[in-house]
Structures are given as structure tokens and as C-alpha cells.
């Protein structure tokens, strides 16, 4: 198990009811962690439409997590 901080934005923040939370997880990759929190909070958007950043760098979903990572979950973007 590793300890990470998950941060949520926009629709995800509202669905989770919080902007961030500390998690102890057995997830190995960012995608696996997304699977866990999506099930927990009822996120409906698929990984394909979302993005993830670790410690403020956008990374591929198969990136491995390290203890202490801050993992940012971005729902589908809609700037402009």
C-alpha cells in the first residue's frame, strides 16, 4: 500500500464532495487509482476522456504511482 493525495476538479470535485483526500491504495498506476475513486465517488467519465497529472505534470494513465504523490484528476476539459 502507498499513501497518495487525490485532488479533484470541477465536476469531479462536486461529485466527490471535496477538493482533495488522502488515500491509502494498492493501485499501481494512475489508471488503477482512477478506477478505485471513480467507483467510490460515482465518476461517470471514462479514462479516455479525462486527464491525470502527478505533482503538476500531465502524465500517461499507465504511469506508476509513488508514495507521497499528489494525483490530480481532471474531468473532460472545456476551455474556450
Partner 1 sequence: MLFRISSEPLETERLKAALRADRAGACICFEGWVRDHNEGEAVTALEYEAHEPVAVKEADKILAEARDRFGVLDIECVHRVGSLKIGDCAVWIGVSAEHRGAAFDACRFVIDSIKQRVPIWKKEHYRDGESGWVNCATGRPATER
Binding site for partner 1 (CB under 8 A): 9-11, 14, 42, 44-45, 49, 51, 53, 56-58, 72, 74-80
- The number of beta carbons lying within 10 Å of the beta carbon of residue 58 is 11
- Among the listed residues 25, 27, 33, the one whose alpha carbon sits nearest the alpha carbon of residue 53: 33
Instruction: Give 34 or 75: the residue with its C-beta nearer to partner 1.
Output: 75
Instruction: Give 1 or 73: the residue with its C-beta nearer to partner 1.
Output: 73
- The number of beta carbons lying within 10 Å of the beta carbon of residue 77 is 11
For residue 27, the minimal CB distance to partner 1 (Å) is 21
Amino acid at each position: 500500500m502507498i499513501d497518495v493525495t487525490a485532488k479533484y476538479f470541477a465536476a469531479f470535485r462536486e461529485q466527490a464532495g471535496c477538493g482533495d483526500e488522502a488515500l491509502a491504495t494498492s493501485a499501481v498506476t494512475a489508471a488503477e487509482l482512477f478506477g478505485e475513486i471513480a467507483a467510490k465517488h460515482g465518476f461517470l467519465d471514462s479514462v479516455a476522456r479525462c486527464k491525470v497529472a502527478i505533482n503538476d505534470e500531465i502524465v500517461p494513465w499507465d504511469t506508476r504511482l509513488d508514495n507521497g504523490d499528489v494525483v490530480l484528476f481532471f474531468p473532460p476539459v472545456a476551455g474556450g
